[in-house]
Structures are given as structure tokens and as C-alpha cells.
Structure 1
Amino acid sequence: MKEKLRKWAYLLICAAMLIGFAGCSSSSADKKNASAESIIVGTEAGFAPYEFMEGNQVVGIDMDIAEKIANKTGKKLVIKNMDFDGALVAVQQGKVDFVAAGVSVTEERKKNMDFSDNYVDSTDVVVVNADKPALQGVTELNDKVIGVQQGNVADLWVSNEDNVTAKEIKRYTAFAQAAQDLKNGKIDCIVMDEAPAKKLVKSVSGLKILEGEENIAFSDNYAIAVKKGNQELLTKINAVIKELKDNGGMDEIFAKYGSEEERSWISNIGGRFYDSLIKGGRYKTYLSGLLVTIEISFFAILLGILLGVLIAIGKVTANANSKFGWLGKLCGIYTTIIRGTPVIVQLLIIYNLIFTSKDANPILTGAVCFGINSSAYVAEIVRAGIESLDNGQTEAGRSLGFTYGQTMIYIILPQAVRNILPALGNEFISLIKETSVAGYIAVTDLTKAAQLVGNRTYDVLPPLIIAAAIYLVMVVGLTKGLSLIERRMGQGDRG
């Protein structure tokens, strides 16, 4: 039984690796061919009515304009949903062709990117708690705890002490959490664009906008951002904006989303979960995110096992043979660096230093990062498992005429794996949960999907509970599977 399980395990791992590498290479080739036929827009789908999630699709005013731009260039539009400040970095690096995300034009931003003509004039207003407003007018912003979207022009405006001397500035990646904090009294107000502010107060009870022209924080306008020097694309974008303004198309787009039926704040628990899961096909967002999480986790586990076993063998070999001392030191440095730095930092470094092309597959990037991170822990687990075995096992293998490599593969590793399977299982469970930070590199994994739904409903708790339940099901399923394998291997030994 044990021998049969071992053979099946080897076959499954080899097959999975072949499928993964074949998929990656074909995906890479497809992306290279498709890059000339597509145009990529970066956005942040938590800024209704300009961009927001509908089911598993990003829609809104900016996305309609982006579609017109794609038609003008004769290319297919590809939407990359990411954090707002991440989108601005991505366009500078050339990972996206342009950014349509309610981007304000500032002198500082002009130094790093080019902007189209303005397509909307806007005003930024102050949103407060309707029942217990911490201020009555914009002149009272000083010494208040103010919420803003991170990297947004409101963030820049509030951060300038010539405008406001805030007690504290709390920066959010999306307004849904800011609204929740405002209701709970964790912040005094939110400074944001008037259009999404109107959506916010209509969707969330207990919030209001400070009315009156005297309470307008500042005036603003939005444009499309492109990489510095991309004059060809900028000319086409300006032509689209001018055409939409001249033929009334821009007014139609704004009217289309301005007349959208508003959602009320549903107080009953069942209604809130219905709104977060069923309404508008939002379950599709979770399913799409779940698939991404499974893909990243699966290939990260395979890479973690492969690298981890190799590193463990390198360490054990170095301990047994002083000639390979350099190899042991190299493996030690690797594990120290990987285990000593946060996985988010590793993820961002790999994404911005290695996978710099706009055609880079974010799922592959995530799998590589989490696989490398996991390999350091797997290596220590495997090394401990190997060193826990009696030296007589190695001597027995050598006396049978096996080489060192054959002894390790056929005698040592199978026994070590049986002993360390529970520890490996715990590492794989941790890895699955660690992938929840993949959203930092514009990947819509399960956690990011829950955040996007929360941004749409302005009710952050139910989507997070739904995501937590899905993670729990995955972890319990993996735990049961590992327990079954342990029992089968134990039965094989007794047999």
C-alpha cells in the first residue's frame, strides 16, 4: 500500500508540474500575441459611479469611456482592477496603457505621467455622521480625524497644512470601510468627490453631506493618465473625449449611471447577506476570486515542495560532507532572508522588480512569490524529518548498492515525508491563507473579491464573513484529505 501511494504521489506531482509549466508557457505565448491586440486600463472599482463591480465585471462611467478609447485604437479593452495608487504606479511602469479611475490632474503627477483633456469637472465635499456630526462646516476640519482615499487628490489636499491641520488622516483603499468607520465614530468625516459621496449617503443610512457652496472643500477635474511620452495614445484619447463632448455621448454616459437605482441600507441580517451574495449576481465575484486563490495556492504548493526539498537535501548534504559546506551556507542565507522578511514585501518586490512587463501574469507572479516563501519553511520541515531518521537507514541503502541520490529518493525521503506530513499540512494551510494578500498586485483573489463586493454595497462585514466561510471550507477539506492520506500510509506500514 505504501509503495503504491508513493508511486501515485510521484505521478501526480510530475503531472501537475507538467500541466502547470505547459499552461504557463502557453499562457505566456498567448499573452505576447494578444498584447499587440489589446489595450490595458488600470482602475480601482470602489468609486461608484465612475467605476464599480457589477457581478464579476467592472463597470461605470470611466469604463464606458475606456471602451470608447479601445474602439478608437482598434484594440480589445482589458481591465486591471487594482488599488488607486497602485494604478498610478502601474501606468508609469508601463504595466497598463492608461488609467481611468477619477484621476485628478496635479503638478506633481504631471512630472511622472501625461494627462488627457479633462472630461469632468467635480467638487469635493465633506461627509459626516448625520446623527452626531463632528463638524457643521468645512471651516471646522482642523483638529478632526479625517478619512480619505489613499493617493486620491483629497488625500493630497488634506495632507497640505495650508488647507487643513488635521488631528489625524486615515487613508483607505476604498470608501466602504471609511463609511463603516464614520458610522461607528472612528473618524469625524470623509472628504471625497461629490458624485460618489451622493451614492454613499443614499446607500448607507446615518450619513450626510454638508450642504451649501460654502462647504465645498475644493474644486477638481478628472482626466485620463498615460505613461510619460506616449503622445500617440494621448492624441487618440483626447479625440475620443472631444467627440463624446461634442455629440452628447458624455452626457449620456453620465445620465446612464446617474439614474442608477440606489440600494437602501438593509438592516436585517438575511437581507444584508442577500445583498452581498445574490443580488446582481455578486456570487460570481466570489467564485472568480475563489478560482484565482485555488490556482495560486496549487502552483505555490508545488513550487514550495520542489524548492523546499532541494534546499533541505542541500543542507543535509552539507552537514554530512564538509566539501559542500558552501552549499549549506547558501541554503542557510536563502531560508534566513525568506523567513525574515514579510510575505507582502516579498510579493511587491517580485512584482515590481522581476515581473515588470505589462504582459506578466499576476497569478503566476503570486504563485512564484508564495511558492518561494513557502519553500523556506518546507525546507526546514523536510530537513528536520530527514535528520530525525537513524543513520542506519542511509548505511543500509549504501550497502544495497544505492548511490547517495538513490538512497535519498527511495529510502530516506519517503520515511521523512510520512513523519512530517502533519507539519507540511499546516504549512500548506498557512500558505492558502497567506494568498489573501495577493490583491496587492492587482489580483482579484477571494479576499479582494469580498472587498470589491463591500465597496459596491457599502456594507463590508457580510462579504468578509462569506469569504471567511469559504476559506474555512477549503482548509477543513484540505485537513480531512491530509488525515486520510496519513491513515492510508499508517495502514500500509502495518500491512
Structure 2
Amino acid sequence: MKKRLAYLALMVLLLVQLVGCAGSAEESAAITDIRQLDGQTIGVMTGSTFDQHTDTYINDAKKEYYTTYADMALAVEQGKIAAFLMDEPMARVLCAQNPGVTYLKDYLTEDGYAFAFPKTEKGALLRDQMNEFLAQIQADGTMEEIESIWFGTDESVQVVEDWTGLPATNGTLEFAAKASSAPFAYVKDGKTVGYDVDIVVRFCKAYGYGLNLHNVELTSFIAGIEAGKYDLGAAGFTVTEERAERVYFSEPDYSGGIVVVVADTGAGEARFETLADFEGTTLGAVTGAYQDQLAKETIPGISIQYYDDVASQLLALQNGYIDGALNDLPLSQLAVARQPELAIFPETIAPDSYGLGLPKDSPLTDQVSAIIERYRADGTLDALTAKWMGADESVKTIDVGEYDAPNGTLRYVHDPSMEPMSYVGEGGESLGYEVELVTLIAKELGMELEITQGSFASLIPMLMSGRADIISGSISITEERKESIDFAAPHYTGGVVMVVRAEDLGISTQTEEQGFWAGLADSFRKTFVEENRWQMILSGLGVTVVISLCAALIGSALGFGLCLVRRGRNRVASLLAAAFIRLVQGIPTLVLLMVLYYIVFASTRLSGVVIAILAFSINFGVYVSEMIRTGIDAVDSGQWEAAAALGFGRAKTFTKVIAPQAARHILPVYKGELISMVKMTSVVGYIAVEDLTKATDLIRSRTFEAFFPLIVTAVIYFLLAWALTSLLRLVELRIDPKRRPRVLKGVEGEKLSAATPDPVSAARAEGETVISVAHLKKVYPNATPLQDVNTEICQGDVISIIGPSGTGKSTLLRCLNRLEEPTAGEIQVLGQTLTGTGPRELSAIRRRMGMVFQSFHLFPHLTVMENIMLAPVELLGLSRQDAYRRGLELLQSVGLAEKALNYPDELSGGQKQRVAIARTLAMNPDIVLFDEPTSALDPTMVGEVLSVIRNLASQGLTMLIVTHEMKFARDVSTRVFYMDQGVIYEEGAPEQVFEHPLTDRCRAFVHRLKTFHAEIRSREFDFLGTASDIDAFARKHLLGADQSLKFQQIFEELCVSVILPTLPAESGWRLSFDAACREDASQCEAVIRWEGAAFDPLTQGEALSVKLALSKTKDSRWTCEEGVNTVTILF
């Protein structure tokens, strides 16, 4: 923990140093003319038309794109961009709030800003009502009052009337606005306020509408209105022909233009004197705006960088990433007012008009336009301009009073970073020129206003997708936009201006130097204390946590379900699930989120939070599905078979055996994917969800401070990731068997006597048939291990099955308990037909017919005692105490009572097999199948297991044993099956099969079992290994202790010690040793052959070795014919 906190502190310290370093960069020349920006880096708001304006008015500009004007202002201050274009109203506010930037006073364009409406019948109606309302407030001076509030500097008056209680006599309007478009729409005290918001609230109050406000990114603004998700939209939304093709626009509620925001250096020679000076520079533009197009038309040779909001655009300008920020005049004025190091380039790029966007062919468009025209005539628009672009903050509120809203809801989405047009107030309410305008329009329309905030880039998509009825965000009215949406009549005419660093205009920005800690404290105060902005962070954090937790829970459940379908037996469903997983994996999360929001659920009223939960649940679920599938596949398939052989069904096998083991493979990957998903939720702001990241973006759009909002976001995500990682680490530790206390729950320790356990089951009469096999056949694609097996096995039989490898011995056992499905034939076990039996009946039979595997298949996540207790407790219903008592008895009988609390990987091979036998016997079976129980064991451990099986045989347990231990088979078996060519070729008593086989194949097999061969070709031969092989051969094939010793002596004393030293040192020779025994094992013969000079080892060899080799032998002789020496010994 301390180490993590130290790393975090180091990261913060480094970032503080970087901020300090940025401030020490060399001052650049002041920009006084747009021509100074040629070839410079210009910030562009992502999704805005400033991209084209930058190309138009600035030659060879390099563009960098930002999402907020605050970021672009900061970029200008830091020298990262030279300037950016923005609308003059917003430039005015931005520069007022950012002393480090200013704007060039000449407009690049003269624009009108209007409310946007869907091109629907309702949209046209709202447009007409808005136009009527705007004309009315223009005529009666209300517009002038609103403008003075939101374009002034007195933030105390910049308040929008609470619209939540507006009577929805005419329905509720969904209002889309970009809450980073101060003064049109922005967030203040956690509430969206601004010029446009104020107008919309007043409108709703006047026309009897309720209001829901949506904070929408510019890139999705038009789409949301066009799709009908919003009834109107605003936030300094410039009316363009292109936009008007997609939505209706009201008459402009504010007129301005695009200006150039540049850094306000406060001194020095102006770098930019005319717009031509911007040629070759990089300008910043807001994504979805159109200032970039105007700039390209005005300034040749510029490049554009796009940003999501004005704050990001201005931050890039301050940091020097762009040379100018293209924005509308109101936003630029606000930015310059707040950041003295920025300034507005005096030459306007182009006149500009803002309009409210509405869906194409919206019936509200004409109504909104009529209201705006009326407001223009009666002075309402002028009042709005004075209110929202004035210095008196106390009047910047929106209060249109109570009104009936019989005409439904007007869904309004605005960009909250477009202050003074639309921004977020102290309580999180939407404020600004355009917000108030839309509010007034909603009132006029008799519609309840529903306000949502979104990025500028999302405004049009939200309108087009039907999530907004009207949008705003200092949206310039362009022909291109008119293709997608309709615009109400322009509500503000200004211009596109360029915000640049004040120093690039030769303007001094020197102020009393603030100490580092004082500056840090001031930044902290602006970010958290002013307007109680900490509440926005807490609210955003709550949204992030809700989305993350819900997506984690739902996604995990979905992933488990998808995994079950993929592993299921329905091939069609499995293929569909696999296709769905591949599809979702191939779609970027953000794209999936926007597809669900703007297309799939465009016509629904589902909130952005719900859709975000759904999108992240789907994305997380498909990855969880693959994790679970991989984790299950990582568990050895023998675990499924061992559980099935005990009588578990598939469901219990999964929950009790497979899942605990798979979880250890799944959790590490799951942990990483969960953290990735939580961090990825930071993109939900694209669909107007105010999560943690969006909240800090809104704060930056108001304060133009980058340090604390970004650091706090990073720290909170770090702490979330750390908390989740720690929680899952605890789960990992809990499921790790080695870290759990080795205590058996629900049992009390007992002292057991040395008595043997209860005898094995003998419920059936001795000699009664317990297994009957008729014409059993098993066919694989490339082999047929069972051709035609027929036999009957009686109670108490101990049957050893022998034969060459690959002749179907193990396959027969696996068919007997249906681990392999027979191709044909019939099997009856304990009086029940096994072939064709259903899963439930099959499990019941398996509980009475145990199986011991050659690979043990103990459950590694359970202790020895838990392995033995599991099946009796789960399947037989024994109490844990009774199962524990039985388990101790069995462990004592196999000599492993002291290993009760050990895990399988702590045992030797022989001990594991003895535990496997005890686990099988715990079910008290009538029959036990042993599949080569000693084949996987070291020779030294074979005896341990065989001793246990001998003891079971003596108790009369019915057993079938596949084995290659011939002496064991002969000693223990009541009958022996010899299998060859897929049939039981011969069966009988052990004496008959081993000593007097009736068939040639069986006779040949038994004979081969008693033949040993070794060949020595160099002195590097593995003599110790061969001696071990001789010992194993003797034990396995019925030889007594004396015969085994004699084999070893002849090989070691005669072959190795006497003959080998006489052979040449170089290679090229061969010395062979062969041994064979008669069928009755009464006599054995050893033959030694080698090429070379004649040498009789029996008479010429070293006396002691020859004596040891020949002792207790019956006959020995040496011959040499044609250069081949042969020694034959009988014993």
C-alpha cells in the first residue's frame, strides 16, 4: 500500500514539475493579425466548422483538434497552438475568463446563432414557436437583458430559472445543448446555464412546455436532433446551409461571428497582424463546428487540429500546440476575459450566425423561428445578449416561472462548454444565452423542457437519431449542416474569430507574479470550491461507479450464459454465440456505444446511463465468455470423467469440481479485463452521460484549468482500479487451496482403532450375474477397438484383463460405465440395461460401479479427505461427520491416514492411486473397475497399490482389472480375460491362461511376456537401467526371487564383467543378451552373443565372476561358429 501511494505521489510531483516547466517556456511574439498565423499550429474544436474556416483564412496552418475551448485556450497559453477560431460571443467570455488569451477583434465571418429542431412536424412547430418567441423578446427588450446577463462579467446574475418544475401543459421538450459553450450553454455550480439555456427555459415557460436538458457533444448534436432524440438544441449553434439540410433552425437568437483566439502575451512585437499571417499555422477547431471550413476559405495553407470542446481547444492554444483557436465571437470573448494570456485576433475570419438546430422537416422549426423573430423585434435577444455576455454574474440565471406545458416535452441538448451561450452553472444547471432562449421558446410552445448536455460533436447525431428535438451550442448555420438538420432563425449574429495567445498580438499579460503554492491553491479553489464544483465530481463518480458495477455484474452473467451456449450440444446456437462474440470483439467499444445510442435505441426513451450499462455489459460479457471457456478448457478432461465415474451429473460436476479449478485460471485475466472496462467507461460522455470524465471536462470548460481536473480524474480512476484489484486479490487468495486453513468444516476429529473398515458391499448373492455384455462394439473413425465382446461377470469375480496394447482393454471398461458410448451391443449392470439409459439413471448406476483410473484424476483443489468425502456427502446424502468417519477408516486401510489434510500434489504416485481407490470405495460400490492402476507408477510404488487391491479381492469385491502385472493377475484373479482383435479371445482360470493357454494367440502372448532382450553397442550403455528392466521383467512375468537374481548375475558378472572388456575400445561391435522362460516358469534360458575372436568366458573368464554367474545353473555351454561367439545357460 505504501509503495503504491509513493508511486502516486511521484506521479503527481512529476506532473506538477511539467506544469511548472510549461510555464517557463520562452515567450513568443504577440499575434495582432491573422496573417501572423500562417504556417502556425491552430486549434480546432472537434466537429465544428472552424476546421474549414482555419483552412480558409490561415495559410499553411497546422491544425490540432480539441474537444473543449478551455483546452484550446490552455494550449494557446502554453504555446502548443498559435490560435484557434471560435464564435465571437464565446470568445468574449472565454478571453474574459482566461487572461492568457485574447481574440482578434475583426470577424472572420458574421454568423447568426440559432436553435436547431428536428425536421419533423413537431420540430417545425417548435421552430415557429421559437421564432415567434425570439421576435417577442427582441421587441420587448428581454433579449437585450438576457444578452447583458450572459455576455457580461457578473457571474452572480448568470442564473437560469429552475426548469424542473415547469408545467408541461404542452408536453416536455428534450433540449440538447453543449455545456462547454459558454456563454451559450455551460455548467455552473453543477447546473447547465447560459444564454441559450436561459432563452429555452423562458421559451418553455411562455409556451407551456416542460424541459429536459441534455448535455451533448458537438459531434452527436445534429445526429441526435435529426433522429428525433431531442426536440431542440442550442449552445451557440451556428446556422449553416449544410446543417439546415438536416435540421430546422430558428431565427438567430444571437448574431456574432468567428474570431481568432490567440495568446495574450501582454507585451512584445505582434506575431500576427492580419489573417494572412496565419498562413501555414495550425489552428484549433471544435469537432462538429464549421469554423474550420470558414478559416480554410479565409486563410490559405493552414492545418486544423480538432478538439471536443472549447476548453480543450484553448488549453492546446495556451500550451502552444496550435497557433490559434477558431471559435465564435461570444465564446472567444468569454475565453479571453477569463484567460488574460489569450486574446481575440482583431480581424474577424467570417461573419457568423448561430441557430438552434432541429430535426429535418420538424414542425417546430417555423414556430421557433417565429418566436426568435419576435424576440429580435421586441428586444428579447438584445436583452439575452446583454445578460449573458455582460459582466454582472448575478443576473445570469434562468427563471421563466411556472407555466403549463400541454404540448409535450421539448428535448433540448446543448454543449455545456460554450459559455456564454450554453454552460453548466453552480448547481449543475444549464445556463447561457442559448439555454435561456430555448427555455423561453419551450414556454412559448407550451412544452416541458428536458435539458441534456452533450459534446458539440454529439449534438447533430443526437438530433438526427431522435434523441433531441432541439440543439444548441453556438452552432453556426451552414449550408452543409442544413443538409442534415433544420435551423430556426438565427438568434445571434456574430462572427468566427481566432483566439490566439495575447503575446502573439504584442499584448502584455504580465500580472503580479503568483507563487507556486498560491497558484496551486487558486487552481484548487477554482476547480473544487467555486460553485461547489466538487459536487459535480462526486456526482460524476457516482455515475461511473453505477455504470461500472452494473456492467460488471450483468456482463459476468452474460459471459457465463454465452459460454454455456458455446459449450452446449446445440451446434446452431453455439455457432450463433461464437459469431456474436466475434462481432462484438471486432467493434470498438465507443462505436458500439454510439450505435446502441444513436441507432438501435434511438427511438426509445432509454437514458444514456442505461444504454451505457448495456453497451459495456455486452462488450465485457463477450470477453468474460472467452475467459470462462478458456478457464474450463484448462481443467484436465479427466476431472470430468472422474466426477462422472463417481456418479455426479454434469451440473454438479461443474459446480463442485470444474468451476473451483477453472476460477484459478479465470480470475487473473478477469481482473485485468474488469479494470480495463472501468477505465473505458470514461467515453460515455459521447452519449451525453455526465460521468467522472465528463464532469471534469465541464469544470475545465468553466475554469480553463487543466491541472487539478485531469489529476483528480487520474487519481480517482487509479483508486477505483486499486480497490477492484485488491478485492479480486482477496477472492484469488480465498479460492487458492494452499492458502486456505487446512480444517474440515462440519466435522469433529475422532480417534480410530486399528480395526479394518466396514466390508465392501455384498448386497447381491455370491455367483449372481452383475454384468452382462452382448455383442458389444465400439468404432472410432480410424479404429475399431471392440469388435464383438460377449461375457458375463458374477458377484465376487476378480477378473484381470490382459492382452497386447491397443486391443480394447481400457475401451471395454470405459464402455461398461458409459464414459465411452458403445457403437452397438447391449450392457446390463446390476440388473439394469446401461445402453440407452438417461443421464439420471446412468449416474445412479455409476454410484454402484466405481472406477479407478491409471492417471488418478484426484481433484487438486480438495484435500485427500475432501476428495473422499465429496461424493458420499453430495450424492449419498451422508452427514459430513459420517463421511469423515468412513474416510478415515478407508485412509487407514490404505495406510494414508496421516495424509488426510494433504493436497494431491503433495503425494507420491503410489499414494495418489491409493487415495483414488479409497475415494472410489467411499461410495460403497458393488463393482470396481481398475484401468491399468499401476501403469503410471514408478516400479518401486507398484507394490503399494497392488497390496491394496489384493486386500479388496480378499473381501470378495467384484473387480475388473486391466493390467500388465502378470504375477499379480495370476495371484489375485478368479478369472482372466485375454483380449485380442477387439474380442475376448480366451478366458479362464489364471492357471489355465498362463500355463496352458488354449489358443495360439494367447500362447504367443504369454511366451512374449517371458522374453527379454538387451543389446550393447558401446561402453556408454545404460547398464543400471538395464538391470532395473531385468528386475521389472522378472516381477511382472511370474519369476521367483531366485530366478530374478540369476538373471541379474548372468548379465552383470558374465556379460558385463567378463565378455565386455575383451571387445575393442572403438565402436562397431554388438553384444546381445536374451532371456526366455518356459510357459510353466520352471526353467529359463539365457543366451549371450557377440562377434569377434574366439573367447570362451566359461573357462577363460575371471574365476569369481564366472562362479557367481554359473552357480545354481542346470547347464552352460560356449560355441563359436563363423566368428560368432554364443554362450547358453539354463537355470
Q: Is the 8 A contact 1:439 1:445 kept in 2?
A: yes
**Larger Cα-atom Rg:** 2
Render the CA deviation track for 1:179-225: whole Å, top value 9, x for unaligned.
Answer: 222222221112222221111112123211223xxx12111122222
Equivalent residue number for residue 381 of structure 2: 250
2:707 is matched with which residue: 434, 449, 461?
461
Q: Which amino acid aligns with 2:556?
A: I
- TM alignment of 1:252-401, pairs within 5 A: 252-260=383-391, 268-317=519-568, 324-357=570-603, 359-401=605-647
Equivalent residue number for residue 30 of structure 1: none
Q: Is the 8 A contact 1:62 1:101 kept in 2?
A: yes
Equivalent residue number for residue 276 of structure 2: 139
Equivalent residue number for residue 210 of structure 1: 345
The alpha-carbon deviation at position 169 of structure 1 amounts to 0.8
1:49 is matched with which residue: 183, 190, 201?
183
2:320 is matched with which residue: 185, 202, 207?
185
Q: Secondary structure, in 3 states, of the residue corresponding to 1:143? A: strand
Distance 1:167 1:228 in 2: 33
Q: Is the 8 A contact 2:170 2:207 kept in 1?
A: no
Distance 1:205 1:238 in 2: 37
Q: Secondary structure, in 3 states, of the residue corresponding to 1:101? A: coil
Identity score, percent = 30
Counterpart check, 1:198 vs 2:329: no
Q: Which amino acid aligns with 1:58?
A: T
Distance 1:494 1:135, change over 3 A: farther
Distance 2:261 2:559 in 1: 51
Equivalent residue number for residue 412 of structure 1: 658
Counterpart check, 1:39 vs 2:173: yes
Render the CA deviation track for 1:78-111: whole Å, top value 9, x for unaligned.
Answer: 1111112311110000011111121222222221
Distance 1:180 1:435, change over 3 A: same
User: Which fold has the larger relative contact order, with Cα–Cα distance below 8 Å and residues 6 or more apart in sequence?
Assistant: 1
Q: Which amino acid aligns with 1:122?
A: G
Equivalent residue number for residue 397 of structure 2: none
Equivalent residue number for residue 101 of structure 1: 235
The alpha-carbon deviation at position 129 of structure 1 amounts to 2.4
Q: Secondary structure, in 3 states, of the residue corresponding to 1:346? A: helix
Structure 2 length-normalised TM: 0.38
Q: Which amino acid aligns with 2:174?
A: I
Render the CA deviation track for 1:281-310: whole Å, top value 9, x for unaligned.
Answer: 111211121111111111211222112112
Structure 1 length-normalised TM: 0.84
Distance 1:376 1:358 in 2: 25
Distance 1:287 1:371, change over 3 A: same
The alpha-carbon deviation at position 430 of structure 1 amounts to 1.1
Counterpart check, 1:78 vs 2:78: no
Distance 2:579 2:604 in 1: 31
The alpha-carbon deviation at position 49 of structure 1 amounts to 0.9
Q: Is the 8 A contact 2:175 2:233 kept in 1?
A: yes
Deviates more, 1:364-373 or 1:246-255: 246-255
Count residues with an aligned counterpart: 451
Q: Secondary structure, in 3 states, of the residue corresponding to 2:279? A: coil
Render the CA deviation track for 1:148-188: whole Å, top value 9, x for unaligned.
Answer: 2222231231244xx33233111112122222222222211
Q: Is the 8 A contact 1:61 1:254 kept in 2?
A: yes
Q: Is the 8 A contact 1:124 1:216 kept in 2?
A: yes
Distance 2:661 2:182 in 1: 57
Q: Is the 8 A contact 1:92 1:113 kept in 2?
A: yes
Equivalent residue number for residue 173 of structure 1: 308
Q: Secondary structure, in 3 states, of the residue corresponding to 2:330? A: helix
Q: Is the 8 A contact 1:308 1:375 kept in 2?
A: yes
Q: Secondary structure, in 3 states, of the residue corresponding to 1:144? A: strand
Distance 1:248 1:167, change over 3 A: closer
Distance 1:136 1:246 in 2: 37
Q: Which amino acid aligns with 2:686?
A: Y
The alpha-carbon deviation at position 255 of structure 1 amounts to 2.7
Distance 1:245 1:392 in 2: 82
Equivalent residue number for residue 124 of structure 1: 258
Distance 2:710 2:731 in 1: 32
Q: Is the 8 A contact 1:124 1:194 kept in 2?
A: yes
**RMSD of aligned Cα (Å):** 2.6
Deviates more, 1:393-402 or 1:273-282: 393-402
Q: Structure 1: any 5+ residue segments left out of the alignment?
A: 1-33, 318-322
Q: Secondary structure, in 3 states, of the residue corresponding to 2:690? A: coil
1:241 is matched with which residue: 372, 378, 385?
372
Structure (1 or 2) with the greater helix fraction: 1
The alpha-carbon deviation at position 75 of structure 1 amounts to 2.6
Q: Structure 2: any 5+ residue segments left out of the alignment?
A: 1-167, 394-418, 420-508, 744-1131
2:362 is matched with which residue: 230, 247, 259?
230
Distance 1:36 1:347 in 2: 32
Render the CA deviation track for 1:107-166: whole Å, top value 9, x for unaligned.
Answer: 222211111112211122112223375421123333221112222231231244xx3323
Q: Which amino acid aligns with 1:227?
A: P
Structure (1 or 2) with the greater strand fraction: 2
Q: Is the 8 A contact 2:216 2:687 kept in 1?
A: yes
